[in-house]
Structures are given as structure tokens and as C-alpha cells.
Amino acid sequence: MIRTRPIEERVNLYNQAMGLREEKGWGNIRIAKALGIDDQTVAHWIYDGREPCGGFKVPDLSPSPELSYILGVYYGDGSAYRDGACYLIKLEAKDQDFVQEFGEQLSKIIEGRGEPYHVWRNKRGYYFTKVSNRLLWEFLKKRDFENHKVVIDRFPAEFLRGFFDSDGGAHKGRNKMSIYASNTNKELLIYVRNLLLNLDIFSTILLCHKEGDTRPFRGRIVQSKKDCHQLVISGQRGFSNFYKHIGFSIRRKQSVLQEIIIKITTPRPPRRYVLKVTTNMQREMRELKRRGWGYDTIARRFKLNPNTVRYHLNPLYRESALIRSAKSWRKKHARCTG
């Protein structure tokens, strides 16, 4: 039966049937024999004006930034599944702006959709959106990864943004910063690492959870069914290029990334001048200076370098030290980003 065939094959047969009808004037029986399908189906096509797609909307599956972003989300938190006669594509996440962005990208590739798909909130407090479209479902579910690469390789930045929106994030600690993405599919992470390398972003892949390990997840203890790997981006050059070419759609993650960029692009005073000096020590040094003590004497009193004392007590010396530090930082940053 024609209904059991993939929708793309049905569309192809429909186009061939209409072409034979227009070019050669064949009837439904002759066309059906030539194509190897039921003559009643062809009759519905050429006489009744029916189409194989029925009433649902046809998505644009040609390579585009929107489709590449959807693929990135699909290989992360997105899902495609059947519910009876419905072929659903769904995203559920805790960030409303992420789900809204996904719905907006879906609306851009589905014909006739003038506005983004609606976002709902379930009882657990998670936001979700879903659309029923068999053509898009078959493209995501039945096509292999090699077919998806045709889209991804044309628009790698959009795929990476969708993937990092789903499975990634940014971390800014006191002494450590990183951009990361976790997934159980190591081959996928290797492919993502190669895409990042093409954008001059270096990353490493680490094993974060082994199969059978227990860990807390959403307020409960879960056991890992597979090995989980994590891709980690570090270094000023990687942070800058990720911010420039990819970024996050989620405001919460993008704000952390912006804090990282601010930190790596802001010159800091030399650590040797500020590392060991507390506020109380600064107060005592100023008092001793008012009494007429010299820099060397104060330095011996607190077991510090004399230049450290000058940095805290002499504004002119501190200004020149900051200038020297800024020049040194600019040279280093130019090497990292050049």
C-alpha cells in the first residue's frame, strides 16, 4: 500500500505521476502500471486533486541555519517519537527562552507557520513545546547521521549553539573557568570537537561518569546506564572564539559566558603586589609612613618586597605598575587571540 511507504517516496511518486499526466497525457491505469502503484491512488491524485502530504504542512529540509540549530537541539535535549497517529518533535527544558527559541526555529522551516509554536509549562515546572509533522519526524528519526552532516557542515555554528544550549553550559569559578558539554555518545563529541577546531576552538574530552555510577540528579539519586563523557573548552582563545562565533540562546548561560569574557579581557594588577597584603596591613603601613618610616623599613617590618609597599603607599608608582601590567596583558592577549 502507498500509505506504508515513506512520505518522501510518496511525494516523489506523486511528482512523477503528475509529470507523466502533463507531458504524455496518460490515464491513471497506465501511470499506475508504469510506477508500480495502485491505480486508485493515481486517480485521486490526477482527478480529485489530492496530494500525498494530505493536510499537514511541508517543512523546508534544505540546509539552513534554522534546520542546523534544530539538529543541534535534537542531538541534545530534543526528542522525536510517535504517539498513536501523531509524529511528534518535542523539547522540554527548565529555561523558557531556550524552548521559545526552539519553537521559533521550527516555525521558520515549516511552511505556512506565521508565528512561533506555543510554550507550555508542566506540573514539574519545566517548559516544553511540540509539533506534529511526519516529514520532519522522518528526517530526524530515520535519516542517519551522515545525511544530517550535509546540513551541519554548511552551518556548523548554529548546530553547535543548539547542542551547547541543550547539553552544555559555562562555569566561572574563582580560579577556574570553562565551557562544557556532556553526552553519552563519544563519537558525537569527537565530531563536535572537530567542528570547534574548524572555528579555532581547542577542546578536550573527559570521562565524567562510568556505567553503573550513582549520582544526584534533579533531587534524586540515579544510576548511569552508559558512560558519560564531557567536552571541555578552556583558554582565552577558546572562550573568545566561542563567544564570537557561537554563544548561547539561553540568557542564564550567556550571562556566565559574558562574565568570563569580561574577566579575561580586564587587565589586573600584578599579583605579587596584592597577594599577601590585607586591609589591616595597608592601614598600618600608611600610619608608619605618616610617622616618617621609609619604604625599605616598612617592608622589613612586614616581611614584604619594598616595591609591594610602594605599590600600596605611592599612587604614582601604583599607576605606573598598572600601566606596565596592562601592556604585558595586551601582548599576551594578542598572542592568544591572534
Average pLDDT of 277-284? 81
pLDDT in tens, 161-218: 999 999 999 998 877 899 999 999 999 999 999 999 999 999 999 988 787 777 776 6
Class at the top of the CATH hierarchy for domain 157-264: alpha beta
Average pLDDT of 12-40? 83
pLDDT in tens, 45-69: 787 767 666 555 778 889 999 999 9
pLDDT in tens, 222-253: 777 888 899 999 888 999 999 999 999 999 99
Parallel/antiparallel/unpaired status of strands 220-223 and 228-233: unpaired
Class at the top of the CATH hierarchy for domain 65-152: alpha beta
Q: State which CATH number among 1.10.10, 2.60.120, 2.40.50, 1.10.12 fits the domain covering 2-46.
A: 1.10.10
Q: Cα–Cα distance between 227 and 206 in angstroms, integer?
A: 11
Domain boundaries, the chain: 2-46, 65-152, 157-264, 271-337
Are 65-152 and 157-264 in the same CATH fold? yes
What pLDDT score does 338 carry?
Answer: 44
Q: Has residue 288 got a pLDDT over 70?
A: yes
What pLDDT score does 265 carry?
Answer: 81
Q: Has residue 271 got a pLDDT over 60?
A: no
Where is average pLDDT lowest: 2-11, 74-83, 122-131, 136-145?
A: 2-11
Average pLDDT of 83-99? 89
Average pLDDT of 292-318? 82
Q: Cα–Cα distance between 114 and 117 in angstroms, integer?
A: 9
